[in-house]
Amino acid sequence: MNMNEPGVALSIDGVVATVLLDRPDVRNAQHPAMWAAIAEFLESLPAEVRVVVVRGSGGTFSAGLDLSLVDPRQTEVAGSLVETLARSDQEVIDLIGEYQRPFAALADPRFISIAVVEGYAIGAGFQMALACDLRIMADDAWVCMKEPALGLVPDLAGTKPLVDAVGYSRALEICATARKVGAEEAGRIGLAQSVVPAAELDSTLTGLVGSLVAHDATAVRRTQELLAAASSRSLDEQRLAERTAQVGRLRAVLGR
């Protein structure tokens, strides 16, 4: 199992960039080289890119962290977390900060990110889907926050978007039980914005991308910035941010 190779295909086609998790033999299990490649790609995207699509190859999104990284018998694998624990707590905290980079980058309001979830998104897979602004799920897909069942916590920037999407109580129930959440429920509780038969995922994605890029790029970006920051601001702060952003928009639209 080669974990020196990123195992991810990164491409740009006009205004759409695609991150394809591409380790189908191990269900697109994730590892540090994959995260580094995705972070570098997202952090250096050209300004023209308006949408980032994240999906997995082979009919699944991602089975989460590559479990060989936490297998004490496999300390020779690149990025072994077992080996990492020889370092100080602060060094481990800093390293996990590096691993969180692509998850933070997916939330960058420079673009709208869409996770296309087929099969399942487990642990780090679920957190990568949560890092995206929008989720489209196949109707037979499921997600699972497996970490507590392994004695761990979700640490790849997934807890905040989960709480934002479904509220504290439902997020707690989903995480503490580590249960599978099916697509129908995911759609109903606001985890997925669209749930469609697997055969319709591509056409649904194409339609959504077309609608998302149909309007003025700056107006959509400024609106996204406002919405993304809304929950961390007071109403007065948000009102100020709205009118400040609108001045620039009015000048652009009216040419004054």
Binding mask 7-36 for ligand CAA (x = CB under 6 A): -------------------xx-x-------
Decide: is 50 part of the binding site for ligand CAA (CB under 6 A).
no
Q: CA-to-CA distance for 54 and 128, rounded, in angstroms?
A: 8
Decide: is 217 part of the binding site for ligand CAA (CB under 6 A).
no
Which amino acid type is present at position 110?
A: R
Q: Which residues neighbour 64 within 8 Å (Cβ) at sequence distance 6 or greater?
A: 29, 30, 121, 122, 123, 124, 125, 126, 146
Shortest approach of ligand CAA to residue 5 CB, angstroms? 15
Shortest approach of ligand CAA to residue 116 CB, angstroms? 17
CB 149 within 8 A of CB 126: no
Segment near ligand CAA (CB under 6 A), from 44-52, 58-66, 177-185, 188-196? Answer: 58-66
Q: Which residue is closest to ligand CAA by CB? A: 123
Give 150 or 172: the residue with its C-beta nearer to ligand CAA: 150
Q: CA-to-CA distance for 213 and 216, rounded, in angstroms?
A: 8
3-state class (DSSP) for residue 62: strand
Nearest to 130 by CA among 186, 58, 207: 186
Nearest to 220 by CA among 204, 209, 231, 207: 209
Shortest approach of ligand CAA to residue 16 CB, angstroms? 27
List the Cα angle 96/125/36 in 5-degree steps: 45
Size of the site for ligand CAA (CB under 6 A): 17
Shortest approach of ligand CAA to residue 73 CB, angstroms? 13
Decide: is 64 part of the binding site for ligand CAA (CB under 6 A).
yes
Binding mask 109-148 for ligand CAA (x = CB under 6 A): -------------xxx---------------------xx-
Give 21 or 192: the residue with its C-beta nearer to ligand CAA: 21
CB 120 within 8 A of CB 177: no
Q: CA-to-CA distance for 81 and 32, rounded, in angstroms?
A: 10
Shortest approach of ligand CAA to residue 27 CB, angstroms? 4
Q: CA-to-CA distance for 219 and 203, rounded, in angstroms?
A: 26
Give 124 or 130: the residue with its C-beta nearer to ligand CAA: 124
Shortest approach of ligand CAA to residue 121 CB, angstroms? 10
Decide: is 150 part of the binding site for ligand CAA (CB under 6 A).
yes
Decide: is 63 part of the binding site for ligand CAA (CB under 6 A).
yes
Q: Which residues neighbour 230 within 8 Å (Cβ) at sequence distance 6 or greater?
A: 238
Q: CA-to-CA distance for 169 and 147, rounded, in angstroms?
A: 18
CB 174 within 8 A of CB 181: yes
Which residues in this chain contact ligand CAA in the complex, by CB under 6 A? Answer: 26-27, 29, 63-68, 122-124, 146-147, 150, 152, 155
